A and B are shown apart, each in its own frame.
Chain A
Amino acid sequence: MLSALWSQIIDLSLFVILLRFTTPILLSALGGLIADVAGVINIGLEGLMLISAFSAIAVGSVTDSWVLGLVAGVASSMLVCYGMGFFSLKLKVDMIITGFAVNILGSGLTIFLMNKIFGVTGNYSPSGLHNIPVVRIPFIDTIPFLNKLLSGHSLMTWIAFLSVLLCVFILYKTPYGVHLRSVGEAPQAAKSLGISVNRIQYSALAWSGLFTGLAGAYLSMGMTSMFVKDMTAGTGFLALAVVLLGNRNPVGILFGSLIFGLASAIATVVQTIPGSKVPSQFIQMIPYLVTIAALVFFAIRKKKKLNDALRAQAEGAVKIAAA
């Protein structure tokens, strides 16, 4: 079993699977991040992804254009985010209630629309759909190892990783990013300087909708080419966990998503090795257990760092006192 796992690490299969699992989690976690940074925690990632996944493939298949599909997916997700803003910022509904409402809505609405528009229930798998393309890098494509490492990944995977840079840029390099952070951390202070807290939070939700929309479109038009009801199956909640695991910054989110992606990839590989005696339920548990372990690991390290500092200082203090 281990040798099979090892061989797939060597031939980069594991890496490729890891990238595919990481992409949607990373994107929607970035969406969660921006909202969280601005103090409007977005629990509705799951519902948003579903809505985007459906809109993307619906428009993409009808217009025969993945670009339009992608735009539609993102637009629908942003629209729902605007609605979240209306209820939470204007009508002052608790942000968490709004988020849960969007999750319930996402499931019901997509099934309803799928039925009304395409007359199908359960799933919609148009034939001849143009998926979000895969990026092949001409020159590298011919070099053994490197081709698998760099070429042949979905465009959305590249977008996801570039989005991490974009988020770093937005949050730390632009005035707007500083406004986002200040609104999340000290809304009174931001307000006192004439920064419109509401407007910033609306915009944060829009970003949240954008990234989550990309994640959703990837599910239906990249990872697969179909919409299946409730196809997110908890991905949004995992993204939420990654937002918190990633310590509320884009690079942390990247690492969190990679940890999760790796665990999922390993679980996938282990599950497809014949003759494995471990019950499937326990293999499926791996990503969740790894997430808890990672969280605890980082928490312990943080605490230990502080303790070490305290101890070192204490020893210093004793010396000073003795002197």
Chain B
Amino acid sequence: GCGKSNTSTSTPGAAGTPAAGKKINAVYFVNGTLGDKGFFDSAQRGVKQAGETLGMTVKTVEGGTNQADWPSGLESLASSGKYDVIVLGTSQMTDIIKDVAKRYEKQKFIFFDEAITGLPNVYSMTYSQNEGSFMAGAFAALVTTSTELKGANPEKVIGFIGGMDIPIINDFKAGYEQGAKYVDPAITVVASYVGDFANAPKGKELALAQYNSQKVDIAFNVAGGAGLGLLEAGNSLGKYSIGVDSNQNGLYPGSVLTSMVKAIDNSVLRALTLFSQDRLGFGKNEVLGIKEGGVGLAKDELYSKHVPKAMQDKIMDIEQKLNKGEIKVISTLK
């Protein structure tokens, strides 16, 4: 049994026991359901790790897909008074957390993926997904013009498959396009949308059409579960793809060359660690970009193995320019 346990067996390793020596009770509220293999799952990993490494009691509550359930779902957690801190995120929750945080002043919140400022009990962090997408675009541009990679063709066309035609997805797209054009202005981006984040067969069909008929040789998945169809399509045709949110390189080694990762897990773990040490800056927002390690391309062994060395260097180079601020990435969001 978790969550309910109010026994105060103090753990060794002191990190998880602030002032009163009571075990910290953290809860992660998912405004949706787990299992997107990306965003929510990533945060879930961070929370879990916090539970394991910091000795916190952690629990996850899924709010479901009905938006109307979220305010009451969150409020019931806040009003229960059982949790020292509530972790949640996404811009869909901003209005709700603002309302709840005002009314439950004693409740602490850690909020990811959207800036909340001016509330003394909320710490928030945002990720420059446009910067990450810029890297993905640059990477794709390098791949499609590559002569070393077997699956690459001479045509300068790269693909993008979004879950829905909505601003957050289009912010990815804008960064992706900018990155690609930065490498080679002649590149065309083919963008398609599945219409939801679940219909993997449809995602695969769209990807197949992009690869087969539009001469796309690498495509970027921004469609959650539906986008897995894209990765599979790329693999089945011997073409390339870029994963999203989590490191998806391992799904089809050699075909998923890299992934645009939002390090929500790390950042949540970091925030919880700081919280356990009573050092978390409530009332503030932190922007986590390439520099801060909040976003970036997943560079694991598979990446080292399958991506040509020259390309890796070029990517490193572009990353540095981003870090130095020599490149400014546009965002369609603000």
Contact = CB atoms under 8 A, between A and B. Distances in A.
Note whether A and B contact each other (Cβ less than 8 A).
yes
Interface in B178-205: 188-190, 192-193, 195-196, 198-202, 204-205
A257 interface: no
A274 B189 contact: yes
B299 interface: no
A231 B212 contact: no
Given A224-B229, A228-B198, A233-B198, A123 B213 contact: no
Contact of A122 (B34, B157, B214): B34
B37 interface: yes
A225 interface: yes
B132 interface: no
A58 B35 CA distance: 17
Q: Chain B interface residue count: which class?
A: 35 or more
B41 interface: yes
Given A224-B200, A231-B198, A274-B214, A17 B165 contact: no
B205 A268 contact: yes
A291 B165 CA distance: 23
Contacts of B213: 4, 8, 13, 269, 272
Contact of A123 (B33, B204, B225): B225
B54 to A, nearest CB: 23
B58 interface: no
Contacts of B198: 228-231, 233
Interface string B161-182: 0000100000000000000000
B141 interface: no
A203 B208 CA distance: 39
Contact of B209 (A229, A234, A268): A268
Interface in B139-165: 157, 165
A225 B41 CA distance: 21
Contacts of B196: 233
Interface string A195-235: 00000000000000000000000010001111011111110
A271 B225 contact: no
B251 interface: yes
Name which of A111, A225, A233, A272 has the most chain B CB atoms within 10 A of its CB: A272
Contacts of A281: 165
Interface of A: 4, 8, 13, 17, 20-21, 24, 111, 114, 120-123, 125, 219, 223-226, 228-234, 268-269, 271-275, 279-281, 284
Interface of B: 33-37, 41, 157, 165, 188-190, 192-193, 195-196, 198-202, 204-206, 208-210, 212-214, 225-226, 228-229, 232, 251
Which 8 residue pairs spanning A and B have beta carbons closest together?
Answer: A122-B35, A121-B35, A233-B199, A228-B225, A230-B198, A280-B165, A228-B200, A280-B193
